[in-house]
Amino acid sequence: MKTYKKLSTVLGMTALVSLALATVPLLAGTDAPTWQLASAVSVPLLLLFIFWRFLAASERNQSLDDQTASERKQAVGAVYSVSLALLVAEAVALAKMAGVLAEQPSEQLFGIAVGLFVVILGNAMPKVAFSAKTLENRNLTAPAAQAANRFSGLVLMLAGAGMTLAWAVLPHGPAGIVAPALLLAAVIASVVRFQLARQA
């Protein structure tokens, strides 16, 4: 429960910072329509709420305090990374509305940063050691879980490298299509691989 409360506090503070960021274009003056400003703020808040509900469901299933150190480290890293990524994305969107940042260069830099983050995430995945309770809850054996984790880490690293390359060399339009497609394909492949591991 201690770890869950800590991570819930981080998500709550992120939500407050997200609301504070909304004042930037208002103070700077912007011609952006109200719906655009509202969506730039509401989407991160909605995603934070969904992530918090997922965290709460995981805590009910198995307390984070009872998981292995590597599992807790992964959970903590995920919360901080998601919070930071959402705040950066919101800050970039609001700064563009306020005319502080140019449209394409800021999106390109953010896309490259997200690609590098996916590479780091993929590299960390095979290092996670699941507890016996986690394996039982997920209906996995230790060898099957590690094999699925290694596969997921590899495809995420490849997807992240592809995303970084796409934003670095492709025009803005195609990069905005290729990069999300690569990430979606990697996530689907990882989910399918874990499902197959459960059947093994």
Domain assignment of residue 25, given as a range: 1-100
Average pLDDT of the residues in 49-53: 74
Question: Same structural domain for residues 18 and 107?
Answer: no
Locate 188 and state its tokens. Answer: 């689907």
Question: Same structural domain for residues 58 and 23?
Answer: yes
Question: Same structural domain for residues 31 and 120?
Answer: no
Which of the listed residues 100, 125, 149 is the one where a domain comes to its end? Answer: 100
Question: Same structural domain for residues 163 and 191?
Answer: yes
Check whether 189 has a pLDDT greater than 60: yes
Of the candidates 148, 28, 169, the one whose C-alpha atom is nearest the C-alpha of residue 98 is 28
Q: State the total domains in the chain.
A: 2
Most confident of 44-48, 97-101, 120-124, 157-161: 157-161
Check whether 200 has a pLDDT greater than 60: no
Question: Same structural domain for residues 56 and 77?
Answer: yes
Of the candidates 150, 18, 167, the one whose C-alpha atom is nearest the C-alpha of residue 82 is 18
Question: Same structural domain for residues 57 and 86?
Answer: yes
Helices (H), the chain: 2-21, 23-28, 34-61, 69-97, 103-124, 132-137, 142-169, 172-199
pLDDT at residue 37 in the model: 67
pLDDT digits (tens, 9 = 90+) for 165-188: 998 898 878 888 898 899 899 989
Question: Same structural domain for residues 5 and 69?
Answer: yes
**Cβ within 8 Å of residue 112, ≥6 positions away:** 164, 167, 168
Check whether 21 has a pLDDT greater than 60: yes
Residue 22 sits at φ, ψ, to 5 deg, of: -65, -20
Question: Same structural domain for residues 63 and 124?
Answer: no
Model pTM?
0.66
Question: Same structural domain for residues 139 and 191?
Answer: yes
DSSP label at residue 62: S
Locate 171 and state its tokens. Answer: 């025009």
Question: Same structural domain for residues 112 and 196?
Answer: yes
pLDDT at residue 103 in the model: 61
Most confident of 126-130, 175-179, 196-200: 175-179
Which of the listed residues 67, 100, 133 is the one where a domain comes to its end? Answer: 100
pLDDT at residue 162 in the model: 93
Of residues 26 and 90, more confidently modeled: 90
Q: Would you tell me how many other CB atoms lie within 10 Å of the CB of residue 67?
A: 21
Average pLDDT of the residues in 111-126: 82
**Banded pLDDT at 62 (limits 50, 70, 90):** low
pLDDT at residue 69 in the model: 76
Spatial distance between the Cα atoms of 24 and 40, rounded to a whole number of angstroms: 12
Do the beta carbons of residue 182 and residue 140 sit within 8 Å?
no
Of residues 72 and 151, more confidently modeled: 151
Question: Same structural domain for residues 25 and 94?
Answer: yes
Question: Same structural domain for residues 94 and 151?
Answer: no
Spatial distance between the Cα atoms of 16 and 10, rounded to a whole number of angstroms: 10
